[in-house]
Amino acid sequence: MDAALSANAYLSTLVASLGLALVFGGLVRLASMLFPVERDRRILEIDDLLPQTQCGQCGHPGCRPYAEAIADGQAINRCPPGGQATIDALALLLKVTAPNLDPEHGLESSHIRVAFIREDECIGCTKCILACPVDAIVGAAKLMHTVIVDECTGCDLCVEPCPVDCIDMVPLARPSHDWRGPPAALLAQLIGSDRDPVQRQQEVL
Amino acid sequence: MNRVWDTPGGIHPPANKRQSLTLPIGYPKLPERLVVPLIQHIGEHCIACVTIGQQVLKGELIGVVDGALGTSVHAPSSGIVSAIEARPVGHQSGSLAPCIEILTDGLERWVSRPKTRDYRQLAPSQLLERIAQSGICGLGGAGFPTATKLTFNGAVPISTIIINATECEPYVTADESLMRERADEIIAGIGIIALLYDNTPRLVIGIEETKPEACAALLAASHASAIEIVQIPSKYPSGGERQLIYTLTGKEVPSGRIPASIGILCINVATTYAIKRAIIDGEPLISRVVTVTGKACGTQRNYQTLIGTPVQHLLDHSGLDDSRLSKLIMGGPMIGFDLPYASVPVVKTSYCILAPDASELAPTAPERACIRCGFCAEVCPVSLLPQQLLWHAKTADHQRLEEHNLFDCIECGACAYVCPSHIPLVQYYRASKGEIDAARADKANARQARQRFEFHQLRLARLEREKNQRRKARRAAAGSNPSPSSRIKAPKASIMRLSSADIIAAAQGRTTEKKPTAEQTLNKLRRNVSTLQMRLEHAERRLAAAAGETADKQNSLRATAEDARQKLHRGEQRLTEQYH
């Protein structure tokens, strides 16, 4: 064997190269197994862009699992709560062209919705509490439950388990002092102050 | 003579202040209804502390602060609370806010007003307490609770207190008329503020040089005090807080910080007047001076107006000619806003009601494309780049907007005023600020939801783990000390693979397992006997009670009683058997 190798330079080079390739390939694999930093960071970046509704409409039990799936190559257009804005942001991050939202997973809604329990109808079965992914429902067995509005992500998961159908998804109204003016596209004119066109022309000249 | 620094930019719009200064401050007649919003300040809503139908006196507390930031509201006149509900208020959104409506009785009966002549004897904490209880917030327009502002205690001690008497916006003369007529009370108010600080800070009144009468009145009132009065060149917006601070001290307030961070406090002149009224006269803030002006008004003048007075009432009082009115604006022409309804009330921060006719307020021309003339950048008092901001606002590029310091924009409107293409720049900036704020809020919400979700997952995992541990512990306990139940239960899991004989054996095993002990049987029989005794007694009672009934009924009851007696007999027999 040795003789054959030393005799044939061509063969020896081939074997050496293959050997090196195997060794370094193995090292790279080992490193990626020992220090899986890159993928984890990517998952965190993706998770940061997802709306954290935890609704499961993408087919995963929460936003983080979907982020993991995206990191492993799944389609980025399965998040209806995030809508096109999230898809665009994900596309920018992953350097791919932004697809449209996959309607199979749901449609984008313009309203923010939160769950609301009609409290006098609630029988206290705790089924919604178990279904809530963010622990936003308080209550105990045989006692009335209610939703903490500030914590509700509007994921809809509590509506279906309710045996008496006392949970509604209601649009969330913004308080008036949060109001910051119409969107730039629908602008009315600024108060013109007290100048007339002639005077203004003089100013400009 | 004090040195005055020149701020960048600025414009010189026609002042139009004379028309409302020809008459002294007037007093409109008392409106029938006063609508007092529960939020007139920066911070949280007040909570109503009166009920519908309750009689209130003038100056009585009707709304209390709930939360850290806010200031209370008081009844502006005596009368009856007729409603506590959401009403339209003077806000650009035209939205509703909780309000208390008072039906006035015209008697103007006051609550007790503790007059304090020797206020110098009061401790700073007592003074602050009074200011807070009097519901005073900044009357210059922002409405920041004054007591909170005065208690701010940062790393840098307050070395300069600036009294903002510039009132640079066209048309508005509320502060000027106040200074002309009540200068001594303003000076007394400043004296009270000075008492709050041990280190005798520098007291400066900044006033535009276009107000000589007001300046003379202040000088006359303050000749015996350490208050400096500095006249500054007239320019819009010289009265912006940061602009005035720079003009008077040459110091710039860092971006995103408050003036107190560099040891400066800026207070509106009308606020100092309110402080004087609160401390010396014991009156809470229930009225303010409001300029009612514009050519559509018959009389243009300033009014000492009760908070909660409907704008319509003021306009009626001024002889408004509806046919000439082109627009109704709350605030001045530069930073004011269109009022959706004239029924909205005057609040603590409304300093002007502007009712111009078409000749005063030229119809706004349609927006045209930016021609990059750069006028906007020249007039910006904050040295921003308005046209760059416009591009980024149009493309909703939030990152670039923040890089160009959008949040330093004071929304003074100077850029839009000079824009030859009639671009409503401030509207764009305001909208973009709103969008960025909303995006930030969404991000914060998402972060919180993620935390809660992760905690939820963690909790589920922990519960699962604990359940498994308990199960394992039980199994381990069963392995070391096999009880009959575990012996039987073991094969249950693989019951599908057992033969029918095994199943029968297992079933028999279960029945033997279920067989109660002698003790349990005895107890059960005892319970049985006592139940049967009760049943027999009951049947006998019913039989006795049925003496007057039909024979049929009596027979049936007798049969029931007999049956119960026999059952009891059998039960007793079984019990005695069990004993042996």
What is the chain A residue with the closest CA to B43?
A: A177
**B94 interfacial to chain A (CB closer than 8 Å):** no
Residue A77 counted as domain residue: yes
- Supply the pLDDT for residue A195: 42
Residue A179 counted as domain residue: no
Residue A87 and residue A122 share a domain: no
Nearest CB partner across the interface for B333, out of A191, A197, A200: A191
Residue A117 counted as domain residue: yes
Coil/strand/helix, residue B55? strand
End-to-end Cα, chain A, rounded Å:
96
For the B18-354 domain, the top CATH level (class) is alpha beta
Is there a contact between B310 and B31 (Cβ–Cβ < 8 Å)? yes
Residues in chain B with CB shorter than 8 Å from the CB of A192 are: 333, 361-364
Residue A130 counted as domain residue: yes
Residue A135 counted as domain residue: yes
Q: B residues 402-421 near A, CB within 8 Å?
A: 413, 416-418, 420
Q: Going residue by residue through chain B (580 aa), what tens digit of pLDDT does each one get?
A: 578 999 999 999 988 899 999 999 999 999 999 999 998 888 888 889 999 999 999 999 999 987 778 889 999 999 999 999 988 887 666 677 889 999 999 888 999 888 888 888 889 899 999 999 999 999 988 889 999 898 887 788 889 999 999 999 999 999 999 999 999 999 999 999 999 988 888 999 999 999 999 999 999 999 888 899 999 999 989 999 999 999 999 999 999 889 999 999 999 999 999 999 999 999 999 999 999 999 999 899 999 999 999 999 999 999 998 888 888 888 888 888 888 788 899 999 999 999 998 888 766 778 888 999 999 999 999 999 999 999 998 888 888 999 999 999 999 999 999 999 988 898 889 888 888 888 888 889 889 999 999 999 999 999 999 999 999 999 998 877 655 554 444 444 444 455 566 666 766 666 656 566 777 888 888 888 888 888 888 888 888 887 777 788 888 888 888 888 888 888 888 888 877 7
Tell me the shortest Cα–Cα distance from B324 to chain A, in angstroms: 15
Residue A131 and residue A99 share a domain: no
- Supply the pLDDT for residue A187: 42
Domain stop point among A89, A105, A121: A105
- B18-354 and B369-481 in the same fold: no
Boundaries of every domain in chain B? 18-354, 369-481, 484-514, 518-579
Total count of domains within chain A: 2
If we measure between CA atoms, which residue out of B266, B61, B261, B291 comes closest to residue B176?
A: B291
Residue A72 and residue A92 share a domain: yes
pLDDT along chain A (205 residues), means of 10: 71 93 93 77 89 89 90 89 89 89 84 87 91 91 90 89 91 61 44 45 48
Residue A165 counted as domain residue: yes
What is the chain A residue with the closest CA to B446?
A: A52
Residue A147 and residue A95 share a domain: no
> Where is B446: in which H helix or E strand?
helix B425-480
- Judged by phi (left if over 0) then psi (alpha if -120 to 50, else beta), residue B447 lies in alpha
Tell me the shortest Cα–Cα distance from B424 to chain A, in angstroms: 5
User: Which CATH code, of 1.10.1060, 2.40.160, 1.10.1240, 1.20.120, is assigned to B369-481?
Assistant: 1.10.1060
d(CA B401, CA A65): 33
Residues in chain A with CB shorter than 8 Å from the CB of B394 are: 184
Strands (E), A92-199: 113-117, 137-138, 146-147, 167-171
d(CA B417, CA B170): 13
Beta bridge partners of B293: B354
d(CA B305, CA B345): 11
Residue A62 counted as domain residue: yes
CA distances from B22 to B19, B300, B331 (A): 6, 8, 20
Q: A residues 97-126 near B, CB within 8 Å?
A: none
If we measure between CA atoms, which residue out of B257, B242, B231 comes closest to residue B8?
A: B242
Q: Which amino acid is at B440?
A: R
Residues in chain B with CB shorter than 8 Å from the CB of A200 are: 420
Q: Provide the token pair at A125.
A: 């079965």
Residue A2 counted as domain residue: no
Identify the CATH number of the domain in which residue A154 sits: 3.30.70.20
If we measure between CA atoms, which residue out of B317, B312, B318, B316 comes closest to residue B330?
A: B312
Which domain range does residue A90 map to? 37-105
Tell me the shortest Cα–Cα distance from B198 to chain A, in angstroms: 37
- Supply the pLDDT for residue A190: 39
Tell me the shortest Cα–Cα distance from A5 to chain B, in angstroms: 58
**A86 interfacial to chain B (CB closer than 8 Å):** no
**A83 interfacial to chain B (CB closer than 8 Å):** no
- Whether A190 and B420 lie within 8 Å, measured CB to CB: no
Q: B residues 206-235 near A, CB within 8 Å?
A: none
Tell me the shortest Cα–Cα distance from B40 to chain A, in angstroms: 10
Residue B316 CB: number of other CB atoms within 10 A?
Answer: 14
ipTM exceeds 0.85: no
Q: Which residue has the tokens 């206290």?
A: A124
**B11 interfacial to chain A (CB closer than 8 Å):** no
* CA-based radius of gyration for chain B: 40
Residue A92 and residue A66 share a domain: yes
Residues whose CB falls within 8 Å of the CB of residue B133, separated by 6 or more in sequence, listed in order: B61, B72, B284
**B518 interfacial to chain A (CB closer than 8 Å):** no
- Whether B361 and A204 lie within 8 Å, measured CB to CB: no
Burial of B518 (0-12, 13-18, 19+ CB in 10 A): exposed
**A163 interfacial to chain B (CB closer than 8 Å):** no
- Whether A194 and B13 lie within 8 Å, measured CB to CB: yes
Domain stop point among A105, A128, A158: A105
- Supply the pLDDT for residue B495: 45
For residue range A116-171, list pLDDT tens digits in order.
999 888 999 999 999 999 999 999 998 999 999 888 988 888 999 999 999 999 88
Residue A101 and residue A41 share a domain: yes
